């Protein structure tokens, strides 16, 4: 059987095979194949196999990538650091920093055998009891992450919590103006309201950066069990409430606007309300949470910029896969929600 690449022009199989031989002292069982898999809209993601073993390869997008974005080394390092902790993560096989191998840095991790719950169709397969217990596991896992002392896992230099929110807001503002495909005045309006009402960081810790239901891999036989937390590229030391705001941004409820990414995935019987999720998180951490709206609005803004980045790459013809046609239409609705919430909150 000859080595192959089912996504021609995207993975240099001979170069990858050479690198894999170096990364895995036990060698490879047979010819390599690489298959583009759905889900990695921001970062192309491939399943790699030698016929016996299966891995996941993650790399930055093709085409122009903004500085500091899509840092594969961050994903690889934080998952390596969290291995064996209360936060389940895949085993990282290795990180390749040499762009000469595949055209950009990339990393390879073991493939976990589980399922991802991306849509309402996926979560509809769970019973109401399973939905409730999965939510409890999700919240407990997030709390476990936020209560890890970074120094205990070698991440004391992972970032600077003080000033995190200001740096983040400045970063996403710069990225919007660097990649926008059309003028959207609401972006600057929302940024202005967020800047004038920025809270002080009082709960520093390890931040995932994109914690939501479809970035979790759950067990086939027990979908309330989380096998791995995925997509760590935006992880850093920062304000842990930013993760809670992101989770709530994606927490769809019956009768409300649904985040265009999750599209109603949690708007089903058994899933608690967003307010109940926040209360459970606060109770587990024994903290009081006031004015979470700032963090939710910031999460919506951040998502709008990410969607615009992907849309811009799609227009430039540098995306791979066939699931990008709807991306551009997601930007305005999420911006509108952020704008409306900001006004209702009096930011």
pLDDT in tens, 208-220: 999 999 999 999 9
Kindly tell me the sign of the dihedral angle through the C-alpha atoms of 298, 302, 308, 311.
negative
CATH 3.30.200.20 residue ranges for the chain: 4-110
CB 217 within 8 A of CB 230: yes
pLDDT at 135: 98
**Separation of alpha carbons 243 and 249, rounded Å:** 10
pLDDT at 6: 39
Q: Distances in Å between the alpha carbon of 342 and those of 154, 222, 259, 301, 336? A: 37, 39, 16, 11, 10
CATH 3.90.1200.10 residue ranges for the chain: 115-345
pLDDT at 150: 98
**Separation of alpha carbons 246 and 209, rounded Å:** 8
Q: What's the pLDDT tens digit per position in 31-40? A: 999 998 865 5
- 314 or 80, which is more confident? 80
Per-residue pLDDT band for 317 (boundaries 50, 70, 90) equals confident
pLDDT at 57: 95
* CATH 3.30.200.20 fits domain 4-110: yes
Q: Residue 322 above 60 pLDDT?
A: no
Average pLDDT, the chain: 90
The CATH number corresponding to 115-345 among 2.30.31.10, 3.90.1200.10, 3.40.50.720, 2.60.40.10 equals 3.90.1200.10
Per-residue pLDDT band for 337 (boundaries 50, 70, 90) equals very high
Q: Residue 248 above 80 pLDDT?
A: yes
**Worst-scoring range by mean pLDDT, 57-61, 137-141, 213-217?**
57-61
Token pair in block for residue 299:
């999460």
Alpha-helix residue ranges (DSSP H) falling in the chain:
13-23, 72-82, 99-102, 120-123, 128-146, 164-179, 185-196, 241-249, 274-285, 293-315, 328-345
Per-residue pLDDT band for 61 (boundaries 50, 70, 90) equals confident
**Separation of alpha carbons 173 and 302, rounded Å:** 9
Q: Residue 25 above 60 pLDDT?
A: yes
Average pLDDT for residues 89-115, to the nearest whole number? 95
pLDDT at 250: 96
């Amino acid at each position: 059987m000859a080595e192959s690449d089912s996504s021609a022009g995207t993975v240099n199989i001979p170069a990858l095979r050479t690198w894999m031989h170096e990364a895995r002292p036990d060698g490879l069982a047979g010819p390599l194949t690489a298959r583009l898999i759905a889900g990695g809209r921001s970062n192309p993601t491939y399943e790699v196999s030698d016929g016996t073993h299966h891995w996941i390869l993650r790399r930055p997008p093709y085409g122009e990538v903004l500085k500091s974005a899509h840092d594969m080394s961050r994903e690889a390092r934080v998952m390596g650091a969290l291995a064996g902790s209360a936060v389940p993560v895949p085993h990282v096989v290795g990180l390749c920093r040499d762009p000469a191998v595949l055209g950009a840095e990339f990393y390879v991790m073991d493939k976990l055998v589980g399922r991802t719950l991306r849509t309402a169709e996926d979560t509809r397969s769970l019973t109401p009891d399973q939905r409730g217990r999965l939510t409890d596991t999700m919240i407990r896992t997030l709390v476990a992450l936020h209560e890890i002392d970074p120094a205990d896992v070698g991440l004391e230099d992972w970032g600077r919590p003080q000033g995190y929110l200001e740096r983040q807001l400045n970063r996403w503002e710069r990225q919007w103006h660097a990649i926008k495909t059309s003028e959207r005045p609401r972006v600057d309006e929302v940024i202005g309201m967020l800047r004038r009402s920025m809270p002080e960081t009082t709960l520093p810790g390890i931040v995932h950066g994109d914690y939501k239901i479809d970035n979790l891999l759950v067990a086939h036989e027990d979908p309330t069990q989380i096998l791995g937390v995925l997509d760590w590229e935006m992880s850093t030391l920062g304000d842990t409430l930013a993760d809670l705001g992101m989770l709530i941004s994606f927490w769809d409820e019956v009768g409300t606007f649904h985040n265009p990414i999750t599209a109603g995935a949690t708007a089903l019987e058994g899933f608690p309300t967003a307010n109940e999720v926040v209360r459970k998180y606060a109770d587990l951490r024994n903290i009081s949470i006031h004015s979470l709206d700032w963090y939710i609005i910031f999460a919506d803004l951040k998502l709008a910029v990410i969607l615009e980045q992907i849309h811009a790459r799609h227009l430039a013809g540098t995306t791979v896969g066939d699931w990008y046609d709807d991306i551009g239409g997601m930007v305005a609705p999420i911006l509108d929600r952020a704008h409306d919430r900001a006004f209702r909150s009096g930011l």
